[in-house]
Structure 1
Amino acid sequence: MVLHISDPHFGTERPFVVKALERLAHTQPFDLLILSGDITQRARTVEFNAARAFVDRLGIPSRLVIAGNHDIPLFDMATRVFLPYSRYCRSFGAELEPIHDTPELLAIGVRTTRRYRHIEGEVSRAQIERVAQHLQQAGKNQLRLVVTHQPVYVTHEVDREHLLRGHQNAISSWAKAGADLILGGHIHRPFVCALHDRITDLPRRMWAVQAGTAVSSRIRHDSSNSVNLIRYGFDDAPQRCVVERWDYDNNVDDFVLADSVDMQRSPACSDGGE
Protein backbone atom coordinates (compact mmCIF):
# COMPACT_ATOMS: atom_id res chain seq x y z
CA MET A 1 0.00 0.00 0.00
CA VAL A 2 1.17 3.53 -0.84
CA LEU A 3 0.82 6.66 1.26
CA HIS A 4 0.69 9.64 -1.11
CA ILE A 5 1.25 13.01 0.54
CA SER A 6 2.00 16.40 -0.96
CA ASP A 7 2.67 20.02 -0.08
CA PRO A 8 3.47 19.67 3.64
CA HIS A 9 5.24 23.08 3.43
CA PHE A 10 7.38 22.53 6.50
CA GLY A 11 7.78 25.92 8.12
CA THR A 12 3.98 26.24 8.11
CA GLU A 13 3.12 22.80 9.50
CA ARG A 14 0.39 22.23 12.08
CA PRO A 15 2.04 20.15 14.84
CA PHE A 16 -1.14 18.33 15.87
CA VAL A 17 -1.81 17.34 12.23
CA VAL A 18 1.77 16.11 11.90
CA LYS A 19 1.20 13.86 14.91
CA ALA A 20 -2.10 12.62 13.50
CA LEU A 21 -0.48 11.70 10.19
CA GLU A 22 2.27 9.85 12.02
CA ARG A 23 -0.40 7.85 13.85
CA LEU A 24 -2.09 6.99 10.55
CA ALA A 25 1.21 5.82 9.09
CA HIS A 26 1.82 3.56 12.08
CA THR A 27 -1.59 1.88 11.86
CA GLN A 28 -1.53 0.96 8.16
CA PRO A 29 0.76 -1.52 6.34
CA PHE A 30 2.42 0.96 3.97
CA ASP A 31 5.18 -0.23 1.67
CA LEU A 32 5.96 3.09 0.00
CA LEU A 33 5.72 6.80 0.82
CA ILE A 34 5.28 9.14 -2.15
CA LEU A 35 5.86 12.84 -1.41
CA SER A 36 5.01 14.88 -4.49
CA GLY A 37 6.75 18.16 -3.74
CA ASP A 38 6.58 21.43 -1.83
CA ILE A 39 8.23 19.74 1.09
CA THR A 40 9.17 23.12 2.57
CA GLN A 41 7.82 26.65 2.57
CA ARG A 42 11.02 28.53 1.72
CA ALA A 43 13.64 25.82 1.07
CA ARG A 44 15.47 26.64 4.28
CA THR A 45 17.81 24.07 5.79
CA VAL A 46 15.87 24.02 9.06
CA GLU A 47 12.67 23.25 7.12
CA PHE A 48 14.27 20.42 5.18
CA ASN A 49 15.67 19.00 8.42
CA ALA A 50 12.21 19.04 10.00
CA ALA A 51 10.70 17.40 6.90
CA ARG A 52 13.32 14.66 6.84
CA ALA A 53 12.80 13.95 10.55
CA PHE A 54 9.05 13.70 9.93
CA VAL A 55 9.51 11.30 7.01
CA ASP A 56 11.81 9.16 9.13
CA ARG A 57 9.25 9.05 11.95
CA LEU A 58 6.61 7.71 9.56
CA GLY A 59 8.61 4.49 9.48
CA ILE A 60 7.58 3.51 5.93
CA PRO A 61 10.15 1.12 4.42
CA SER A 62 10.57 2.87 1.03
CA ARG A 63 10.09 6.41 -0.18
CA LEU A 64 9.89 8.34 -3.44
CA VAL A 65 10.29 12.09 -2.96
CA ILE A 66 10.38 14.84 -5.58
CA ALA A 67 10.93 18.57 -5.20
CA GLY A 68 8.28 21.23 -5.70
CA ASN A 69 8.65 24.87 -6.63
CA HIS A 70 8.84 25.85 -2.95
CA ASP A 71 11.86 23.56 -2.52
CA ILE A 72 14.08 25.87 -4.58
CA PRO A 73 15.29 28.98 -2.69
CA LEU A 74 13.26 32.04 -3.70
CA PHE A 75 15.23 34.91 -2.19
CA ASP A 76 18.76 33.41 -2.14
CA MET A 77 19.38 34.09 -5.82
CA ALA A 78 22.92 32.73 -5.94
CA THR A 79 21.80 29.35 -4.62
CA ARG A 80 18.70 29.39 -6.83
CA VAL A 81 20.77 29.95 -9.96
CA PHE A 82 23.81 27.78 -9.30
CA LEU A 83 22.73 25.14 -6.74
CA PRO A 84 18.92 25.14 -6.77
CA TYR A 85 18.50 21.62 -5.35
CA SER A 86 21.46 21.50 -2.98
CA ARG A 87 19.39 21.74 0.21
CA TYR A 88 16.85 19.27 -1.08
CA CYS A 89 19.62 16.81 -1.98
CA ARG A 90 21.24 17.03 1.45
CA SER A 91 18.01 15.81 3.03
CA PHE A 92 16.51 13.51 0.39
CA GLY A 93 19.38 12.40 -1.82
CA ALA A 94 20.90 13.42 -5.13
CA GLU A 95 18.36 11.66 -7.37
CA LEU A 96 15.85 14.25 -8.55
CA GLU A 97 13.79 11.76 -10.58
CA PRO A 98 13.64 8.62 -8.42
CA ILE A 99 12.09 5.33 -9.49
CA HIS A 100 10.56 2.65 -7.27
CA ASP A 101 10.30 -0.73 -8.99
CA THR A 102 8.91 -3.88 -7.37
CA PRO A 103 7.07 -6.89 -8.84
CA GLU A 104 3.70 -5.25 -8.08
CA LEU A 105 4.45 -1.54 -8.44
CA LEU A 106 6.34 0.85 -10.73
CA ALA A 107 6.45 4.48 -9.58
CA ILE A 108 8.37 7.07 -11.61
CA GLY A 109 9.24 10.52 -10.28
CA VAL A 110 9.47 13.47 -12.69
CA ARG A 111 11.24 16.75 -11.89
CA THR A 112 8.74 19.37 -13.06
CA THR A 113 10.30 22.34 -11.25
CA ARG A 114 12.65 24.77 -12.98
CA ARG A 115 14.93 27.34 -11.38
CA TYR A 116 13.84 29.93 -13.98
CA ARG A 117 10.16 29.49 -13.08
CA HIS A 118 8.65 30.73 -9.84
CA ILE A 119 5.43 28.73 -9.63
CA GLU A 120 4.77 27.06 -12.97
CA GLY A 121 6.20 23.67 -13.82
CA GLU A 122 7.10 22.01 -17.08
CA VAL A 123 7.96 18.62 -18.48
CA SER A 124 10.33 18.34 -21.44
CA ARG A 125 10.08 16.07 -24.48
CA ALA A 126 13.09 14.13 -23.19
CA GLN A 127 11.43 13.60 -19.82
CA ILE A 128 8.19 12.45 -21.44
CA GLU A 129 10.08 9.93 -23.56
CA ARG A 130 12.17 8.69 -20.62
CA VAL A 131 9.06 8.02 -18.54
CA ALA A 132 7.34 6.32 -21.48
CA GLN A 133 10.30 3.97 -21.94
CA HIS A 134 10.16 2.92 -18.28
CA LEU A 135 6.41 2.38 -18.49
CA GLN A 136 6.76 0.21 -21.58
CA GLN A 137 9.13 -2.07 -19.66
CA ALA A 138 6.69 -2.59 -16.77
CA GLY A 139 5.49 -6.05 -15.81
CA LYS A 140 2.04 -7.26 -16.79
CA ASN A 141 0.48 -6.83 -13.34
CA GLN A 142 2.48 -3.87 -12.06
CA LEU A 143 0.52 -0.81 -10.98
CA ARG A 144 2.16 1.99 -12.98
CA LEU A 145 2.36 5.44 -11.36
CA VAL A 146 3.91 8.67 -12.60
CA VAL A 147 4.57 11.38 -10.01
CA THR A 148 4.74 15.08 -10.85
CA HIS A 149 4.41 18.16 -8.67
CA GLN A 150 2.22 20.41 -10.80
CA PRO A 151 -1.05 18.84 -11.98
CA VAL A 152 -1.61 17.39 -15.45
CA TYR A 153 -5.36 17.99 -15.12
CA VAL A 154 -7.55 20.35 -13.10
CA THR A 155 -11.25 20.33 -12.38
CA HIS A 156 -11.74 24.06 -11.74
CA GLU A 157 -11.07 26.98 -14.08
CA VAL A 158 -9.24 28.91 -11.36
CA ASP A 159 -6.56 26.20 -11.32
CA ARG A 160 -5.83 26.19 -15.05
CA GLU A 161 -2.89 28.58 -14.70
CA HIS A 162 -1.16 25.93 -12.58
CA LEU A 163 -1.34 23.15 -15.17
CA LEU A 164 1.98 21.50 -15.93
CA ARG A 165 3.41 22.89 -19.17
CA GLY A 166 3.58 20.01 -21.62
CA HIS A 167 0.78 18.14 -19.84
CA GLN A 168 -1.14 17.30 -23.02
CA ASN A 169 1.79 15.53 -24.65
CA ALA A 170 2.64 13.86 -21.35
CA ILE A 171 -0.87 12.48 -20.85
CA SER A 172 -1.03 11.13 -24.40
CA SER A 173 2.42 9.56 -24.35
CA TRP A 174 2.16 8.05 -20.88
CA ALA A 175 -1.28 6.62 -21.57
CA LYS A 176 0.02 4.90 -24.70
CA ALA A 177 2.97 3.58 -22.71
CA GLY A 178 0.74 2.06 -20.04
CA ALA A 179 0.44 4.49 -17.11
CA ASP A 180 -2.43 3.90 -14.70
CA LEU A 181 -2.24 6.91 -12.37
CA ILE A 182 -0.56 10.32 -12.54
CA LEU A 183 -0.06 11.66 -9.03
CA GLY A 184 0.41 15.34 -8.24
CA GLY A 185 -0.05 18.18 -5.80
CA HIS A 186 0.68 21.93 -5.95
CA ILE A 187 -2.90 23.26 -6.01
CA HIS A 188 -3.91 21.90 -2.58
CA ARG A 189 -7.14 20.55 -4.06
CA PRO A 190 -7.59 16.78 -3.56
CA PHE A 191 -9.46 14.84 -6.23
CA VAL A 192 -9.43 11.75 -8.42
CA CYS A 193 -10.37 12.22 -12.07
CA ALA A 194 -10.85 9.53 -14.73
CA LEU A 195 -8.90 11.08 -17.59
CA HIS A 196 -10.33 8.56 -20.07
CA ASP A 197 -13.77 10.09 -19.42
CA ARG A 198 -12.52 13.65 -19.96
CA ILE A 199 -10.02 13.35 -22.82
CA THR A 200 -11.04 12.12 -26.25
CA ASP A 201 -9.22 9.12 -27.76
CA LEU A 202 -7.18 8.25 -24.69
CA PRO A 203 -6.05 4.67 -25.45
CA ARG A 204 -6.50 3.22 -21.96
CA ARG A 205 -8.04 3.89 -18.58
CA MET A 206 -5.91 6.38 -16.65
CA TRP A 207 -6.59 8.60 -13.66
CA ALA A 208 -5.22 11.88 -12.30
CA VAL A 209 -4.83 11.64 -8.52
CA GLN A 210 -4.26 14.92 -6.70
CA ALA A 211 -3.37 15.24 -3.02
CA GLY A 212 -4.21 18.20 -0.82
CA THR A 213 -1.77 19.74 1.62
CA ALA A 214 -0.80 17.06 4.11
CA VAL A 215 0.02 19.03 7.26
CA SER A 216 0.32 22.73 6.38
CA SER A 217 -1.82 25.61 7.61
CA ARG A 218 -1.98 26.75 3.96
CA ILE A 219 -5.33 25.05 3.42
CA ARG A 220 -7.33 26.20 0.39
CA HIS A 221 -10.67 25.63 -1.28
CA ASP A 222 -12.45 24.96 2.03
CA SER A 223 -10.56 21.65 2.25
CA SER A 224 -8.94 20.09 5.27
CA ASN A 225 -5.47 18.61 5.41
CA SER A 226 -5.61 15.54 3.20
CA VAL A 227 -3.59 12.51 2.05
CA ASN A 228 -4.20 9.56 -0.28
CA LEU A 229 -3.92 5.84 0.41
CA ILE A 230 -3.44 3.66 -2.67
CA ARG A 231 -4.29 -0.01 -2.29
CA TYR A 232 -3.19 -2.55 -4.91
CA GLY A 233 -1.97 -6.10 -5.29
CA PHE A 234 -5.31 -7.83 -4.73
CA ASP A 235 -4.77 -11.57 -5.19
CA ASP A 236 -8.14 -12.17 -6.80
CA ALA A 237 -8.10 -9.02 -8.96
CA PRO A 238 -4.59 -8.00 -10.07
CA GLN A 239 -5.90 -5.12 -12.20
CA ARG A 240 -7.84 -3.58 -9.31
CA CYS A 241 -6.67 -0.43 -7.54
CA VAL A 242 -8.37 1.60 -4.79
CA VAL A 243 -7.54 5.24 -4.01
CA GLU A 244 -8.77 6.48 -0.64
CA ARG A 245 -8.75 10.10 0.46
CA TRP A 246 -8.18 10.61 4.16
CA ASP A 247 -8.89 14.08 5.62
CA TYR A 248 -7.87 15.50 8.98
CA ASP A 249 -10.95 15.90 11.20
CA ASN A 250 -10.60 18.53 13.93
CA ASN A 251 -13.43 16.98 15.93
CA VAL A 252 -11.57 13.73 16.52
CA ASP A 253 -8.00 15.00 16.03
CA ASP A 254 -7.30 12.29 13.49
CA PHE A 255 -7.29 11.45 9.79
CA VAL A 256 -10.54 9.81 8.70
CA LEU A 257 -11.66 8.19 5.46
CA ALA A 258 -13.43 10.83 3.34
CA ASP A 259 -13.76 9.17 -0.08
CA SER A 260 -12.81 6.01 -1.97
CA VAL A 261 -12.50 5.33 -5.70
CA ASP A 262 -12.38 1.72 -6.87
CA MET A 263 -10.66 1.36 -10.25
CA GLN A 264 -10.32 -1.42 -12.78
CA ARG A 265 -7.10 -0.81 -14.67
CA SER A 266 -6.66 -1.54 -18.36
CA PRO A 267 -4.75 -4.74 -19.16
CA ALA A 268 -1.13 -4.29 -20.13
CA CYS A 269 -0.31 -4.73 -23.82
CA SER A 270 2.99 -4.91 -25.65
CA ASP A 271 2.38 -1.53 -27.26
CA GLY A 272 1.26 0.10 -24.03
CA GLY A 273 -2.34 0.48 -25.19
CA GLU A 274 -5.49 -1.57 -25.35
Structure 2
Amino acid sequence: MSLLLQISDPHFGTERSMVVAALLRLIDAFPPDLVIVSGDITQRARRQQFAAARAFFDTLRPTPMVVVPGNHDIPLFDPLARLFYPHRNHQRAFGAELEPSFELDDLLVIGVNTTRPYRHTDGEVSMQQIRRVAARLEAARESQLRVVITHQPVAVTRTQDEKNLLRGHERAVQRWARAGADLIVGGHIHLPYVLPLHDIFAGLPRRMWAVQAGTALSHRVRGSIDNSVNVIRYSSEATTRGTTVERWDYVEASERFERVAQHDLALDGAPQPDALTSAG
Protein backbone atom coordinates (compact mmCIF):
# COMPACT_ATOMS: atom_id res chain seq x y z
CA MET A 1 0.00 0.00 0.00
CA SER A 2 1.31 3.45 -0.95
CA LEU A 3 -0.16 6.68 0.39
CA LEU A 4 0.42 9.93 -1.52
CA LEU A 5 -0.41 13.43 -0.36
CA GLN A 6 -1.05 15.97 -3.12
CA ILE A 7 -0.40 19.56 -2.09
CA SER A 8 -1.03 22.17 -4.76
CA ASP A 9 -0.95 25.95 -4.97
CA PRO A 10 0.12 26.72 -1.39
CA HIS A 11 1.19 30.20 -2.58
CA PHE A 12 3.61 30.92 0.24
CA GLY A 13 3.39 34.62 0.89
CA THR A 14 -0.40 34.29 1.16
CA GLU A 15 -0.55 31.24 3.46
CA ARG A 16 -2.93 31.05 6.42
CA SER A 17 -1.10 30.12 9.60
CA MET A 18 -3.98 28.15 11.11
CA VAL A 19 -4.29 26.11 7.90
CA VAL A 20 -0.55 25.40 7.91
CA ALA A 21 -0.88 24.03 11.45
CA ALA A 22 -3.93 21.96 10.49
CA LEU A 23 -2.16 20.43 7.49
CA LEU A 24 0.77 19.40 9.68
CA ARG A 25 -1.67 17.68 12.02
CA LEU A 26 -3.23 15.83 9.08
CA ILE A 27 0.20 14.67 7.93
CA ASP A 28 0.98 13.45 11.44
CA ALA A 29 -2.26 11.45 11.40
CA PHE A 30 -1.69 9.95 7.94
CA PRO A 31 2.06 9.92 7.23
CA PRO A 32 2.46 9.72 3.43
CA ASP A 33 4.99 7.68 1.53
CA LEU A 34 5.35 10.59 -0.90
CA VAL A 35 4.32 14.24 -1.05
CA ILE A 36 3.41 15.56 -4.51
CA VAL A 37 3.62 19.35 -4.86
CA SER A 38 1.93 20.35 -8.11
CA GLY A 39 3.08 23.93 -8.52
CA ASP A 40 2.48 27.52 -7.45
CA ILE A 41 4.55 27.02 -4.35
CA THR A 42 4.88 30.79 -3.92
CA GLN A 43 2.82 33.84 -4.69
CA ARG A 44 5.50 35.92 -6.45
CA ALA A 45 8.58 33.67 -6.75
CA ARG A 46 10.46 35.77 -4.19
CA ARG A 47 13.43 34.31 -2.38
CA GLN A 48 11.88 34.76 1.06
CA GLN A 49 8.67 33.06 -0.08
CA PHE A 50 10.63 30.06 -1.33
CA ALA A 51 12.55 30.04 1.96
CA ALA A 52 9.25 29.87 3.87
CA ALA A 53 8.08 27.03 1.62
CA ARG A 54 11.34 25.15 2.09
CA ALA A 55 11.09 25.54 5.87
CA PHE A 56 7.57 24.10 5.81
CA PHE A 57 8.49 21.10 3.67
CA ASP A 58 11.63 20.50 5.74
CA THR A 59 9.33 19.68 8.66
CA LEU A 60 8.07 16.69 6.65
CA ARG A 61 11.49 15.05 6.32
CA PRO A 62 12.43 12.29 5.74
CA THR A 63 9.27 11.92 3.64
CA PRO A 64 10.30 12.18 -0.04
CA MET A 65 8.76 14.86 -2.26
CA VAL A 66 8.23 15.44 -5.97
CA VAL A 67 7.99 19.20 -6.54
CA VAL A 68 7.22 20.89 -9.87
CA PRO A 69 6.99 24.66 -10.43
CA GLY A 70 3.88 26.60 -11.40
CA ASN A 71 3.43 29.87 -13.22
CA HIS A 72 3.61 31.81 -9.93
CA ASP A 73 7.04 30.30 -9.27
CA ILE A 74 8.74 32.37 -11.97
CA PRO A 75 9.17 36.16 -11.55
CA LEU A 76 6.38 38.39 -12.81
CA PHE A 77 7.69 41.90 -12.12
CA ASP A 78 11.39 41.32 -12.89
CA PRO A 79 11.60 40.89 -16.69
CA LEU A 80 15.34 40.17 -16.73
CA ALA A 81 15.03 37.41 -14.15
CA ARG A 82 11.95 36.03 -15.90
CA LEU A 83 13.79 35.87 -19.22
CA PHE A 84 17.27 34.73 -18.22
CA TYR A 85 16.92 32.78 -14.95
CA PRO A 86 13.20 32.23 -14.29
CA HIS A 87 13.63 29.26 -11.94
CA ARG A 88 16.63 30.50 -9.94
CA ASN A 89 14.78 30.92 -6.64
CA HIS A 90 12.87 27.67 -7.11
CA GLN A 91 16.11 25.79 -7.72
CA ARG A 92 17.79 27.39 -4.70
CA ALA A 93 15.01 26.01 -2.53
CA PHE A 94 14.23 22.65 -4.16
CA GLY A 95 17.25 21.72 -6.25
CA ALA A 96 18.25 21.97 -9.88
CA GLU A 97 15.85 19.32 -11.21
CA LEU A 98 12.63 20.92 -12.50
CA GLU A 99 11.12 17.62 -13.66
CA PRO A 100 11.80 15.19 -10.81
CA SER A 101 10.49 11.66 -10.59
CA PHE A 102 10.06 9.07 -7.87
CA GLU A 103 9.74 5.31 -7.92
CA LEU A 104 8.76 2.51 -5.53
CA ASP A 105 7.88 -1.10 -6.29
CA ASP A 106 4.22 -0.10 -6.67
CA LEU A 107 4.56 3.55 -7.68
CA LEU A 108 5.99 5.70 -10.50
CA VAL A 109 5.55 9.49 -10.34
CA ILE A 110 6.84 11.72 -13.16
CA GLY A 111 6.98 15.52 -12.90
CA VAL A 112 6.59 17.83 -15.90
CA ASN A 113 7.63 21.48 -15.88
CA THR A 114 4.83 23.24 -17.75
CA THR A 115 5.93 26.82 -16.96
CA ARG A 116 7.09 29.05 -19.80
CA PRO A 117 8.71 32.47 -19.25
CA TYR A 118 7.08 33.82 -22.41
CA ARG A 119 3.59 33.03 -21.12
CA HIS A 120 1.80 34.78 -18.26
CA THR A 121 -0.38 32.13 -16.63
CA ASP A 122 -0.68 29.58 -19.43
CA GLY A 123 1.24 26.33 -19.25
CA GLU A 124 2.60 24.30 -22.13
CA VAL A 125 3.86 20.77 -22.69
CA SER A 126 6.24 20.19 -25.60
CA MET A 127 6.51 17.17 -27.86
CA GLN A 128 9.91 16.45 -26.33
CA GLN A 129 8.35 16.37 -22.87
CA ILE A 130 5.46 14.21 -24.07
CA ARG A 131 7.85 11.67 -25.56
CA ARG A 132 10.13 11.67 -22.51
CA VAL A 133 7.24 10.94 -20.16
CA ALA A 134 5.82 8.29 -22.51
CA ALA A 135 9.14 6.45 -22.64
CA ARG A 136 9.32 6.37 -18.85
CA LEU A 137 5.72 5.15 -18.59
CA GLU A 138 6.33 2.37 -21.11
CA ALA A 139 9.19 1.09 -18.95
CA ALA A 140 7.03 0.93 -15.79
CA ARG A 141 6.24 -2.31 -14.01
CA GLU A 142 2.72 -3.70 -14.20
CA SER A 143 2.25 -3.37 -10.45
CA GLN A 144 3.04 0.35 -10.40
CA LEU A 145 0.53 3.18 -10.12
CA ARG A 146 1.69 5.52 -12.90
CA VAL A 147 1.22 9.22 -12.10
CA VAL A 148 2.12 12.28 -14.18
CA ILE A 149 2.23 15.75 -12.59
CA THR A 150 1.42 18.90 -14.56
CA HIS A 151 0.61 22.22 -12.95
CA GLN A 152 -2.13 23.32 -15.35
CA PRO A 153 -5.14 21.02 -15.84
CA VAL A 154 -5.69 18.68 -18.80
CA ALA A 155 -9.48 18.74 -18.28
CA VAL A 156 -11.88 21.16 -16.60
CA THR A 157 -15.41 21.10 -15.27
CA ARG A 158 -16.47 24.66 -16.16
CA THR A 159 -16.51 26.50 -19.47
CA GLN A 160 -14.87 29.57 -17.91
CA ASP A 161 -11.84 27.47 -16.97
CA GLU A 162 -11.11 26.27 -20.51
CA LYS A 163 -8.68 29.16 -20.96
CA ASN A 164 -6.56 27.58 -18.21
CA LEU A 165 -6.11 24.23 -19.96
CA LEU A 166 -2.54 23.10 -20.49
CA ARG A 167 -1.42 23.92 -24.03
CA GLY A 168 -0.70 20.65 -25.84
CA HIS A 169 -2.86 18.68 -23.43
CA GLU A 170 -4.73 16.79 -26.17
CA ARG A 171 -1.57 15.24 -27.59
CA ALA A 172 -0.20 14.57 -24.10
CA VAL A 173 -3.34 12.80 -22.90
CA GLN A 174 -3.53 10.58 -25.98
CA ARG A 175 0.17 9.65 -25.91
CA TRP A 176 0.40 9.10 -22.17
CA ALA A 177 -2.72 6.94 -22.23
CA ARG A 178 -1.12 4.70 -24.87
CA ALA A 179 2.01 4.56 -22.72
CA GLY A 180 0.09 3.41 -19.65
CA ALA A 181 -0.55 6.44 -17.42
CA ASP A 182 -3.18 6.04 -14.70
CA LEU A 183 -3.47 9.55 -13.24
CA ILE A 184 -2.60 13.07 -14.36
CA VAL A 185 -2.57 15.30 -11.30
CA GLY A 186 -2.50 19.10 -11.23
CA GLY A 187 -3.70 22.33 -9.73
CA HIS A 188 -3.61 25.95 -10.98
CA ILE A 189 -7.32 26.81 -10.83
CA HIS A 190 -7.79 26.10 -7.10
CA LEU A 191 -10.69 23.72 -7.73
CA PRO A 192 -10.57 20.09 -6.57
CA TYR A 193 -12.20 17.43 -8.76
CA VAL A 194 -11.66 14.04 -10.38
CA LEU A 195 -12.58 13.43 -14.03
CA PRO A 196 -12.52 10.28 -16.21
CA LEU A 197 -10.32 11.28 -19.14
CA HIS A 198 -11.40 8.13 -21.02
CA ASP A 199 -14.92 9.60 -21.18
CA ILE A 200 -13.74 13.06 -22.28
CA PHE A 201 -11.18 12.17 -24.96
CA ALA A 202 -12.39 9.91 -27.75
CA GLY A 203 -10.42 6.78 -28.44
CA LEU A 204 -8.30 6.50 -25.30
CA PRO A 205 -7.15 2.87 -25.05
CA ARG A 206 -7.38 2.70 -21.25
CA ARG A 207 -8.97 4.25 -18.21
CA MET A 208 -7.09 7.36 -17.11
CA TRP A 209 -8.11 10.01 -14.60
CA ALA A 210 -7.49 13.72 -14.05
CA VAL A 211 -7.01 14.49 -10.35
CA GLN A 212 -7.07 18.19 -9.50
CA ALA A 213 -6.34 19.75 -6.12
CA GLY A 214 -7.45 23.05 -4.62
CA THR A 215 -5.17 25.52 -2.91
CA ALA A 216 -3.63 23.88 0.12
CA LEU A 217 -2.75 26.91 2.26
CA SER A 218 -3.52 30.23 0.58
CA HIS A 219 -6.29 32.67 1.38
CA ARG A 220 -6.85 32.78 -2.43
CA VAL A 221 -9.62 30.18 -2.33
CA ARG A 222 -12.28 29.90 -5.03
CA GLY A 223 -16.00 30.13 -4.40
CA SER A 224 -17.31 28.15 -1.45
CA ILE A 225 -14.39 25.68 -1.41
CA ASP A 226 -11.93 26.24 1.42
CA ASN A 227 -8.33 25.05 1.45
CA SER A 228 -8.01 21.51 0.16
CA VAL A 229 -5.54 18.64 -0.38
CA ASN A 230 -5.80 15.16 -1.87
CA VAL A 231 -4.87 11.88 -0.23
CA ILE A 232 -4.28 9.12 -2.80
CA ARG A 233 -4.19 5.48 -1.69
CA TYR A 234 -3.02 2.63 -3.90
CA SER A 235 -2.54 -1.08 -3.38
CA SER A 236 -1.21 -3.38 -6.09
CA GLU A 237 -2.19 -6.48 -4.14
CA ALA A 238 -5.89 -6.34 -4.94
CA THR A 239 -7.35 -8.64 -7.58
CA THR A 240 -8.43 -5.60 -9.59
CA ARG A 241 -6.14 -2.59 -9.85
CA GLY A 242 -7.69 0.50 -8.33
CA THR A 243 -6.90 3.59 -6.33
CA THR A 244 -8.78 5.84 -3.97
CA VAL A 245 -8.61 9.63 -4.11
CA GLU A 246 -9.80 11.38 -0.97
CA ARG A 247 -10.43 15.10 -0.86
CA TRP A 248 -9.65 16.71 2.50
CA ASP A 249 -10.88 20.29 3.06
CA TYR A 250 -9.99 22.69 5.84
CA VAL A 251 -13.06 23.25 8.02
CA GLU A 252 -13.18 26.58 9.82
CA ALA A 253 -15.39 25.36 12.66
CA SER A 254 -13.07 22.55 13.71
CA GLU A 255 -9.82 24.18 12.51
CA ARG A 256 -8.74 20.95 10.90
CA PHE A 257 -8.77 19.13 7.59
CA GLU A 258 -11.70 16.74 7.19
CA ARG A 259 -12.47 14.21 4.47
CA VAL A 260 -15.34 15.54 2.37
CA ALA A 261 -15.24 13.26 -0.70
CA GLN A 262 -13.87 9.91 -1.83
CA HIS A 263 -13.43 8.61 -5.38
CA ASP A 264 -12.77 4.91 -5.93
CA LEU A 265 -11.12 4.70 -9.34
CA ALA A 266 -10.88 1.55 -11.43
CA LEU A 267 -7.60 1.17 -13.29
CA ASP A 268 -6.51 -0.93 -16.23
CA GLY A 269 -3.49 -3.22 -16.29
CA ALA A 270 -0.22 -2.43 -17.97
CA PRO A 271 -0.54 -1.83 -21.74
CA GLN A 272 0.57 -4.65 -24.01
CA PRO A 273 3.70 -3.88 -26.07
CA ASP A 274 1.91 -4.37 -29.39
CA ALA A 275 -0.68 -1.79 -28.32
CA LEU A 276 1.93 0.94 -28.13
CA THR A 277 3.06 2.99 -31.06
CA SER A 278 6.10 5.16 -31.58
CA ALA A 279 4.05 8.03 -32.91
CA GLY A 280 4.28 11.24 -30.93
Q: Of residues 103, 128, 135 in structure 1, which corresponds to 2:105?
A: 103
CA contact (8 A) 1:4 1:35 kept: yes
CA contact (8 A) 1:33 1:60 kept: no
CA contact (8 A) 2:144 2:236 kept: no
Tell me the distance in 1 between the aligned counterparts of 2:242 and 2:199.
18
Q: So what's the TM-score if we normalise by structure 1?
A: 0.97
Cα distance change of structure 1 residues 60 and 194 upon mapping to structure 2, 3 Å threshold? farther
Q: Of residues 71, 74, 77 in structure 1, which corresponds to 2:73?
A: 71
Structure 1 residue 273: Cα displacement = 5.3
Tell me the distance in 2 between the aligned counterparts of 1:209 and 1:256.
18
Structure 1 residue 263: Cα displacement = 1.3
Whichever residue aligns with residue 255 of structure 1, its letter is F
Tell me the distance in 2 between the aligned counterparts of 1:218 and 1:232.
30
Structure 1 residue 236: Cα displacement = 3.0
Say whether residues 1:53 and 2:55 are aligned partners.
yes
Tell me the distance in 1 between the aligned counterparts of 2:247 and 2:194.
9
Cα distance change of structure 1 residues 135 and 42 upon mapping to structure 2, 3 Å threshold? same
CA RMSD of aligned residues (A): 1.3
* Structure-1 residue corresponding to 2:260: 258
Q: Deviations over 1:184-236 (max 9, x none)?
A: 00000100001112222111000000000000000013211000000012533
Say whether residues 1:36 and 2:47 are aligned partners.
no
Whichever residue aligns with residue 114 of structure 1, its letter is R
* Structure-2 residue corresponding to 1:228: 230
**3-state secondary structure, aligned to 1:261:** strand
Say whether residues 1:196 and 2:192 are aligned partners.
no
Structure 1 residue 164: Cα displacement = 0.3
Of all paired residues, the percent bearing the same amino acid is: 54
Aligned length: 274
**3-state secondary structure, aligned to 1:228:** strand
Whichever residue aligns with residue 164 of structure 2, its letter is H
Structure 1 residue 272: Cα displacement = 8.3
Structure 1 residue 103: Cα displacement = 0.9
Structure 1 residue 101: Cα displacement = 1.2
* Structure-1 residue corresponding to 2:95: 93
Runs of 4+ in 1 over 6 A off after TM superposition: none
* Structure-2 residue corresponding to 1:138: 140
For structure 2, the 5+ residue unaligned runs are none
Q: Of residues 182, 185, 210 in structure 1, which corresponds to 2:212?
A: 210
